[in-house]
Chains A and B, each alone.
Chain A
Amino acid sequence: MSIAIDCQKLSKRYGRGDDFALKNLDLQVNTGEIYGFLGPNGAGKSTAIRTLLNFIQPTSGSATILGQNVVKDSVKAKRQVGYLAGEVALYPRMTGRQFLNYMTDLQPLKHPDYQQKLVKQFGAQLDKPIEELSKGNRQKIGIIQAFMHEPDVLILDEPTSGLDPLMQAAFYELAESAKQRGAAVFLSSHDLTEVRKMCDRIGFIRGGKLVAEKTIADLQAVAAHNFDITFKGSAPLEELRELKDAEVQPVTDNSVIVKLQGDLTPLFALLAKSSVLSLDKQDINLDEEFMSLYKGPKS
């Protein structure tokens, strides 16, 4: 595994103001990894992506894609990049086929059959003018153009926006197969479920700064576990509330939901002393972890 995208103290300030849209971003994305880039609107996600693609130039710091500087060696860097914009803008009068041919002329395909495979996989409509297509169908063409030349680095801004659940699943599969062949996938998203499902690592950006970077395993380790417990008699509420980092929510007289973070041993020790009729563990809910990072104080 090697570093595919490397940002070193990457900063961007628009105009002459003091506010940085991106401040000292240090970030690495490895080959064979899907990296999710999360943050509220205006956090700096798109600025980071646009800087990586040299649409805008960094105020300070540097970034490389597969070792190529994104400013000085931008053209070389982009030979290995597939990009999907957040609001995918295509040529409205072209048909999907004409558009894909145009993009292919600018960046030849490694395997011409692969484009056809993607077209079939997504059921893309290629013979209608793009202006007549729905947002979802335009997004399919956007995804195909980003993946069709089998790039080693994929930079995707809100890639599943407008796709139906079936096509979202097809996209997850596509991203996973890119990862399996060793590509680095760097994607921004607002969809926490999607990020949790797809990504190996997640970076949280807020106010132009990377405030946290975690693997899904890290998040799961610190995430609260929810247990739905039914006791034979009354629930031992007082004893449950005394457990460290536990939140107890009574449901009925003999049933409670216990939310517990960290070590589970004290809970099970208590349950061993009680008469328990049923114990259900709910799925780990990472959304709360995400939300705490989203909402945290601006640093």
Chain B
Amino acid sequence: MKPIIYWGVRDRRWTIFGWSLGISLYAALIVLVYSSIGDQAQALSQVTDNLPATAKALFSDTNDLLSPIGYLSSKLYYLMMPMLFTILAIILSSQLFSREEQNGTMELLLARPVSRSKLLAAKLISGLIVVGIIGLITLATTLVCMHAINYNVSITNVVLVTGMSILLSLLFGAVAWALVGIGRLGHRASIGVASFVALGSYLISSLESLATWLEWPAKLLPFHYFQPSAILEGNYNWWNALGMLIATLALLAIAFIGFRRRDLN
């Protein structure tokens, strides 16, 4: 497995560099900008308080958009961070798994004494390492910037919310892995369906507070259980995280079972 993991990560060194740079710069910008609006937060709050609930719900899970926690949640963790990592996780499932199958190079690996389970596990670990490195660089950048401007939010909670953003993205990534693992849909369709599920989940969950009929379907979707402001405040129900982890593992199990039994395309 080690060589497959090594090459899986090595081949993605530019992906790691580019994504780390992009997400870190974005996070740094968001955090550093707060130093210039923090003093005017109270005045600005009066403006944002007048925004319709619909608009607020699209950007945050809290009504307080300009407090340190509300700002961080609305600008970084409610949408952008999980979405960027979701895109990354879905792209990685495509690059590491389905594209290799499509190009025929997977046959080269499976012609060696490597089981399908080990191959898939190695590919998955490569993807986790890539996401992990980018996540750590992003987290480190965010913490350094917060320290630089004395941002008043618990470091532990920032670590936890970053971890939860990544867990949520891995859950959507696992949808892509499961679809590709089963192999019934084509490569592009699998990626498309996973992206659609992620985006749809976000939209339904962000609008559930406005339409009562969306509350029930929203509860079936992972975004409903991702509440960055609650994590930053330290009052998050961590059973939700456990649920997401179990769902992720279940989807990956489907990917493993499906891939072991199916024909290579």
Chain A residues within CB distance 8 Å of chain B: 14, 50, 53-57, 74-76, 78-79, 81, 83, 85, 87, 89-91, 93, 102-103, 105-107, 145
Contact = CB atoms under 8 A, between A and B. Distances in A.
A125 B71 CA distance: 57
- A-B pairs with the 6 shortest C-beta distances? A89-B104, A105-B3, A83-B111, A56-B263, A106-B112, A55-B264
Interface in B118-162: none
Interface string B7-23: 10001000000000000
20 contacts: A55-B107, A55-B110, A55-B264, A56-B263, A57-B261, A76-B113, A78-B112, A83-B107, A87-B104, A89-B104, A89-B107, A90-B105, A91-B7, A103-B108, A103-B112, A105-B2, A106-B3, A106-B112, A106-B113, A107-B113
Contact of B7 (A55, A75, A102): A102
Interface in B81-107: 103-105, 107
Contacts of A93: 11
Given A87-B104, A89-B103, A106-B3, A56 B111 contact: no
B108 A89 contact: yes
A56 B264 contact: yes
A93 B263 CA distance: 27
A53 B110 contact: yes
B115 interface: yes
A74 B112 contact: no
Nearest to B117: A75
Interface residues of B, number: 21
A106 B114 contact: yes
B106 to A, nearest CB: 9
B214 interface: no
Contacts of A87: 104
Contacts of B263: 14, 55-57
B254 interface: no
B81 to A, nearest CB: 30
Nearest to A145: B108
Contact of A85 (B11, B107, B114): B107
B104 A78 contact: no
B4 A106 contact: yes
Contacts of B108: 83, 85, 89-90, 103, 145
Given A74-B115, A78-B112, 20 more contacts: A14-B263, A53-B107, A54-B110, A55-B107, A56-B264, A75-B114, A76-B113, A78-B110, A78-B114, A79-B113, A83-B107, A83-B111, A89-B107, A90-B105, A91-B11, A102-B3, A103-B112, A105-B2, A105-B3, A106-B109
A106 B110 CA distance: 10
Contacts of B111: 53, 78, 81, 83
A76 B114 CA distance: 9
Nearest to B105: A89
B107 A75 contact: no
A81 B107 CA distance: 13
B3 A75 contact: no
Interface in B184-229: none
B13 to A, nearest CB: 11
Contacts of A54: 110
Contacts of B262: 57
A107 B113 CA distance: 7
A78 B262 CA distance: 18
Contacts of A78: 110-114
Contacts of B264: 50, 55-56
A73 to B, nearest CB: 11
Nearest to B4: A106
Contacts of A75: 113-115
Contacts of B104: 85, 87, 89
Interface string B230-247: 000000000000000000
Contacts of B2: 105
Contacts of B261: 57
A79 B114 CA distance: 9
Contacts of B109: 106
A93 B115 CA distance: 25
Nearest to B1: A106
Nearest to B264: A55
Nearest to B103: A89
Contacts of A89: 103-105, 107-108
A93 B6 CA distance: 15
B118 to A, nearest CB: 9
B111 to A, nearest CB: 4
Name the residue in B4, B113, B261 with the highest tally of chain A Cβ atoms < 10 Å from its Cβ. Answer: B113
Nearest to A82: B111
Nearest to A50: B264
B51 to A, nearest CB: 49
